[in-house]
Structure 1
Amino acid sequence: MNKKIPDFFIIGAAKSGTTSLYEYLKQHPQIYFPERKEPHFFGNMKPGGEHVNNINEYLKMFEDAPDNTVIGEASTSYLYSSDAANKIKKFNNNAKIIVMLRNPVDRAYSMYRHQVRNGSENLSFEEGLKAEESRILKGWKYGFHYFAGGKYSWQIENYFDFFGDNNVKVFLFEDFKENPYATLFDIFNFLNVEHEVKINTEKVHNVSNKPKSKKLNYLLNQKNLLKELLKKIIPEFHRKRLKKYLITKNMSDHYDKMSEKTRNHLINEYKEEINYLEKLLDRDLSLWKR
């Protein structure tokens, strides 16, 4: 009996709508995703927190996939990793790759807000950008690579080199946000599954808004004695549901906006990168330059 493995991978970029895409695609009866969105099994760019290291544990995630379904996996660390493409290619030579890119300025700030939401970042966005280079040299996780994570061209070229243009499909977050059904339709074509399927796209997932209570946010996201005690009395499934519920309730409906000065600075810093990416993708990215 052949092992069930992913037919396609959503590889990032982080904070570019991949969680919403994952949740929407899960609704398709011919597409199977495991409940765990991001195992981060492949590649050298492991994030903080838990990830799957054992091949048997990884394959176990897909055991329940019904026959004749297209199996997917979604880990945003794979795009930014220097060796994940090679490892995925060796694992499944025929894999299809889905990439979602976002204006790198907005992505950088969203990644920063994500770290604030998780109680991992105490610096201002501007201070975090200044500290980024030294943090990277010290081995900080890729979630703190606010600016570097938006240098998409080498990341995309890496996957083109291993999988070819026909097996790598690049989408823009801005298009997805404006018309999710158009993006989903293209993906259904790419994966060769039924198009006429009703998908509920009303909910936006994994939004990095500002926590109402920093203390509660810290308790929910960082290691502490209370969480260790709860592990002994509450099953993992219920702990995760409770944590998700409390995090959602603790989020405000707004966040502090980036300053215009910082935005203009970053647009200028990314200008050459965006120009190159336009040629690489044969796409107009003028929206990202303002």
Structure 2
Amino acid sequence: MKLFIHIGLPRTASTFLQKQIFPYLKADNYYYNPTDLIQVMKKFLDPFVAPQNNERKSFEDGKKEIDLILEGYKGATILLSYEGLSMEPWRQNYFNNYLNLKKMFPFAKIIVMLRYQTDWVLSLYRLSFQKKVYQSIETFLSFKNGVFEDYEQIPHSLRKRRLNVNELHFPWLVLKYVESFGNENVKLFFFEDFKKDNQKVVSNILGVIGADPSIQNFPYFEKKINTSISAFACMLYRVLFNFFGLFKDIDALSWTESIKNYPSWKIPFLIIGKSYQYVMRRLINGLLRSVDKIIYWNWDLMPPKMKDQLDSRYKEENMKLLEVVSRDKIPSGYLT
């Protein structure tokens, strides 16, 4: 049996691969994200699910379940794809999944796609608007007085609405997977190469899996999917939601979190306010989605001072990638 695990990263064409490539892949005895395997795997490894696992089973129990399921796939090629295995993007919490994956699937090959960090940060910022958070990039990155604040300085209830750039360490994550699985079992791709020639990168990924690119027929290959909203839409979101009083830090909280911050006599007013927000958000979201389809207008949303700091930090850190990949394979702009 051959097992391949695609771990993302998030915002690196994962949704495109999962919806438009992997399900349509033609190969002998091939299984993509088999339900029985995915359910058990997420229960023990998913950063969003595992900490809340109420069944209180041990990791060893999960390993036994996995081994039993894999017995039914002898001789097969299995591809698992879920970017949540690599990280929780908002908190940059990598947990120890590189170790847990090695324990659970010691013979697996790992597929990773990187994206230059500053560009990745901007992509996540744009995604935050789709997550109902309408704030400046300075607030999103906790950038104050020319410094990126440490995570501990951010109120706990708002941490999932901010990005902790001080804990964003992609090269470290790659090296940990290489350390756990071996360099020959970690296949590294770059989102920048995908943007230049997505067919070539997809063919290379298929080559890793052992699928013949020449016999594939992907019916939705050219369809764009999960594209970040434009800078123009981000600006309109902020203007409209602030104008109509639809967003404050407290509004980013869930109903349960909001109620905790309100005395009981104010809860009816909270319900009225939340209902108003819901209706107006639906109207504005529909309007802005339509505008973005007509006028997809982009510019750099990151101030130069902030961008220079991040570039300096990440280009230096990316030099560690040379331990596992040659310089000529790394897209321009990554290294010092």
Whether TM-score is above 0.5 comes out as yes
Residue 108 in structure 1 maps to residue 121 in structure 2: yes
Give, in angstroms, the shift of residue 41 of structure 1. 4.1
Aligned-partner residue type, residue 130 of structure 1: S
Aligned-partner residue type, residue 124 of structure 1: S
SS of residue paired to 1:71: strand
Give, in angstroms, the shift of residue 159 of structure 1. 0.6
Residue 190 in structure 1 maps to residue 190 in structure 2: no
Task: Specify the alignment match of 1:74 in structure 2.
Answer: 81
Contact 2:13 / 2:191 at 8 angstroms: preserved in 1?
Answer: yes
Kindly report which structure 2 residues correspond to 1:39-50, keeping only aligned pairs within 5 A, or say none.
Answer: 40-43=42-45, 45-46=47-48
Out of 91-100 and 65-74, give the one that drifted further: 65-74
Distance 2:161 2:12 in 1: 13
Structure 2: which 5+ runs fail to align? 88-93, 144-148, 257-284
Q: Deviations over 1:249-271 (max 9, x none)?
A: 86324366323513233212212
Distance 2:43 2:178 in 1: 20
Give, in angstroms, the shift of residue 282 of structure 1. 1.8
Match among 113, 123, 127 for residue 135 of structure 2: 123
Identity among equivalent positions (%) equals 20
Q: Deviations over 1:24-73 (max 9, x none)?
A: 2221133433498997445473389x9998859x97xx99x999653222
Contact 1:271 / 1:289 at 8 angstroms: preserved in 2?
Answer: yes
Q: TM-score, normalised by structure 2?
A: 0.61
SS of residue paired to 1:204: coil
Residue 19 in structure 1 maps to residue 15 in structure 2: yes
Aligned-partner residue type, residue 184 of structure 1: V
Larger Rg: 2
Task: Specify the alignment match of 1:162 in structure 2.
Answer: 180
Distance 2:318 2:151 in 1: 25
Kindly report which structure 2 residues correspond to 1:172-183, keeping only aligned pairs within 5 A, or say none.
Answer: 172-183=190-201
Kindly report which structure 2 residues correspond to 1:249-260, keeping only aligned pairs within 5 A, or say none.
Answer: 251=289, 252-253=292-293, 254=296, 257-260=300-303
Contact 1:111 / 1:143 at 8 angstroms: preserved in 2?
Answer: no
Q: TM-score, normalised by structure 1?
A: 0.70
Match among 103, 121, 124 for residue 90 of structure 1: 103
Distance 1:51 1:180 in 2: 37
Structure 1 residues 288 and 11: alpha-carbon distance in aligned structure 2, compared to 1, 3 A threshold: same
SS of residue paired to 2:11: coil
Task: Specify the alignment match of 1:282 in structure 2.
Answer: 326
Structure 1 residues 250 and 223: alpha-carbon distance in aligned structure 2, compared to 1, 3 A threshold: farther
SS of residue paired to 1:286: coil
Structure 1 residues 25 and 146: alpha-carbon distance in aligned structure 2, compared to 1, 3 A threshold: farther
Structure 1: which 5+ runs fail to align? 226-246
Distance 1:193 1:122 in 2: 43
Give, in angstroms, the shift of residue 117 of structure 1. 1.0
Structure (1/2) with the larger helix percentage: 2
Match among 221, 226, 237 for residue 206 of structure 1: 226
Distance 2:153 2:110 in 1: 27
Aligned-partner residue type, residue 85 of structure 1: Y
Structure 1 residues 110 and 186: alpha-carbon distance in aligned structure 2, compared to 1, 3 A threshold: same
Corresponding pairs, count = 257
Structure 1 residues 277 and 173: alpha-carbon distance in aligned structure 2, compared to 1, 3 A threshold: same
Give, in angstroms, the shift of residue 104 of structure 1. 0.5
Contact 1:45 / 1:142 at 8 angstroms: preserved in 2?
Answer: no
Aligned-partner residue type, residue 128 of structure 1: F
Q: Deviations over 1:179-212 (max 9, x none)?
A: 1121122122211122211224212322231477
Structure 1 residues 11 and 111: alpha-carbon distance in aligned structure 2, compared to 1, 3 A threshold: same
SS of residue paired to 1:99: strand
